[in-house]
Amino acid sequence: MTNLQEFPIAGKYGRYGGKYIPETLIPAINELEDAYIKIRNNPKFKRELNYYLQNYAGRPTPLYFAKNLTDYVGGAKIYLKREDLLHGGAHKTNNCLGQCLLAKKMGKKRIIAETGAGQHGVGTAMAAAVLGLKAEIYMGSIDIERQKLNLFRMELLGAKVHSVNTGTKTLKDAINEALRDWITNVKDTYYLIGSVVGPHPYPMIVRDFQRVIGEEIKSQLKDISTRSPDALVCCVGGGSNAMGTFFPFLDDDTVSLYGVEAGGLGIRTGKHSATLKVGSEGILHGMRTYLLQDEYGQINDTHSISAGLDYPGVGPQHVHLKNIQRAEYVTCNDNAALDAFFKLSRLEGIIPALESSHAVSYAMKLAKKMRADQNIIVTLSGRGDKDIDQVINFRKKYIGGSK
């Protein structure tokens, strides 16, 4: 069997990935791939990136044993990889710093990015500010409405935010608009994709800048236990924090990998974002992957309580891992995620992002079925400060009353 860390092979993960893009972007994609391959092992580049990751963003993030949560659930020990403590409040910063530094080395001065929940937009705005680049962010008008705070943060950080009013007015349309901008301004613009999606080489580049999560887990675990983790649990929208966590463990079969997708209001209602669970093969945003689509290939509206998981596609490497049964992909509904949001807040004094709450929720379920000498590591991809309004609104709308 091929070593799973060798993927992508010729830009593909099995039959997934590839590049399906307008011709105008081909030179830019090729330039990016060449530049990245040349620089990724360059010691000076690595040193510089590490400098920013440590001194600016606060790496390494702790691996925290959630004792209260573990006691409450009963079963396997639950550890939290605290990406919520990273500067910016989410794992997105890892990729934004990496790609902004890459863009700078390539001589690009203008960065464009899409954002759903606003976290990638904020990460891009921060990284661009500190590295002296100009950032413009595309964000769906519906997402702006539900993540007002992040809009202000981006503007505060000096980024220009474009409200996207086409299609479903959410993340996928923000990606479309960013791609159109790139087609128009391809000569001087760097497109900073925020997840392990898009045409090759993006899924690989983003994964490589996020694998620091998994690498750190590996070394931190050695300090507290002799065994490798029994299970890794991460939420999956596009799938960048999950891929960053999973990647260093892909070829260690003793580690079970779980990706948790947004079950929304329930799979049967059709209002969800469970692409891997119930989607089908298709081509969108430059890649062959799984999509939520209708019988004609039109992309469906998605739903999740968390804007960051609200995406009708998924990273192509996740599709590959699912197909070869290396990782298991499950769902967690809005209500269960919300429950985990409150539990973690009360039990550990940690307010998790709604995205990460999906992973926490599944980990609680999983821990119960496992032995006390086993351990689960949950990547707490972000903090929940940005979600307070959303939680209040959601409770009013679907649950009623106060808790």
Catalytic residue among 273, 356, 357, 381: 381
Catalytic residue among 77, 92, 322, 386: 92
Q: How far is the CB of 120 from other proteins (least distance, A)?
A: 19
Query: Judged by CB, which is closer to other proteins: 46, or 180?
Result: 180
Residues that bind other proteins (CB under 8 A): 11, 18-24, 26-27, 166-167, 172-173, 176, 179-180, 183-187, 281-286, 288, 291, 293, 295-299
Give yes or no: 381 in active site.
Answer: yes
Contact 110, 139 (CB under 8 A): no
The first and second tokens of residue 390, run together, are 């959303």
Q: How far is the CB of 236 from other proteins (least distance, A)?
A: 21
Contact 2, 14 (CB under 8 A): no
State the Cα–Cα distance between residues 102 and 316, nearest whole angstrom: 23
User: Which is nearest to 71 in space by CA: 335, 343, 339?
Assistant: 343
State the Cα–Cα distance between residues 305 and 357, nearest whole angstrom: 11
DSSP codes of every residue in 11-76: TEETTEE-----GGGHHHHHHHHHHHHHHTT-HHHHHHHHHIIIIIT-PSPPEEE-HHHHHHH-SS
Query: Judged by CB, which is closer to other proteins: 172, or 277?
Result: 172
Q: How far is the CB of 341 from other proteins (least distance, A)?
A: 31
SS3 of residue 59 by DSSP: coil
State the Cα–Cα distance between residues 122 and 120, nearest whole angstrom: 5
Q: How far is the CB of 321 from other proteins (least distance, A)?
A: 21
Give yes or no: 92 in active site.
Answer: yes
Q: How far is the CB of 51 from other proteins (least distance, A)?
A: 35
Partnered with residue 265 across adjacent β-strands are none
According to DSSP, the β-strands at 189-191 and 110-115 are: parallel
Catalytic residue among 114, 216, 348, 355: 114
The first and second tokens of residue 88, run together, are 């910016």
User: Quick check: bond before 201 cis, omega within 30?
Assistant: yes
Query: Judged by CB, which is closer to other proteins: 23, or 223?
Result: 23
Query: Judged by CB, which is closer to other proteins: 1, or 10?
Result: 10
Q: Looking up tokens 């000498």, which residue turns up?
A: 373
Reading phi first (left if > 0) and then psi (alpha if -120 to 50, else beta), residue 269 is in alpha
Give yes or no: 114 in active site.
Answer: yes
Q: How far is the CB of 16 from other proteins (least distance, A)?
A: 12
**Mind telling me the catalytic residues?**
92, 114, 381
